[in-house]
Amino acid sequence: MNESDSPNSFGRFLTLADTAEVLNISAAQSYALVRSGELPAIKIGSHGQWRVERTVLESYIEAMYEEVRRLSLWNQSDYTDNVSDLSAGLQRLNHGSRTQSS
């Protein structure tokens, strides 16, 4: 993408190829995102060409950053440590009850 191809030069709607270029993925991957409903798009014209609104794509990108941020916080939280501790405690209890019933 050169300077004349800045995101603002695309206009309001992007083709799936443009979308793929912005996301640095293949056209097939952008099509899969649209077909799955993960990335909202519309079909235009008699041939049903998919178009993604630029603002929708920007919102999608922001949402993906937020998802990664939340996952990172979840992984860093004490809660995950407590779940591991609880799981280990349950395993010890289960092992102990099997030993006693033998």
| Count of structural domains, the chain | 1
- Tell me the two tokens of residue 2: 């050169």
So what's the pLDDT on residue 28? Answer: 97
Q: Is residue 13 part of a domain?
A: yes
CATH of the domain at 20: 1.10.10
Q: Is residue 97 part of a domain?
A: no
For residue 33, give its domain range.
3-77
pTM: 0.65
The torsion angle over the Cα atoms of residues 57, 10, 1 and 21, rounded to 10 degrees, is 30
**pLDDT for 10-47, tens place per residue?**
689 999 999 999 999 999 999 999 999 999 999 999 99
Q: Is residue 88 part of a domain?
A: no
Mean pLDDT (the chain, rounded): 84
Q: Is residue 82 part of a domain?
A: no
Contact 73, 54 (CB under 8 A): no
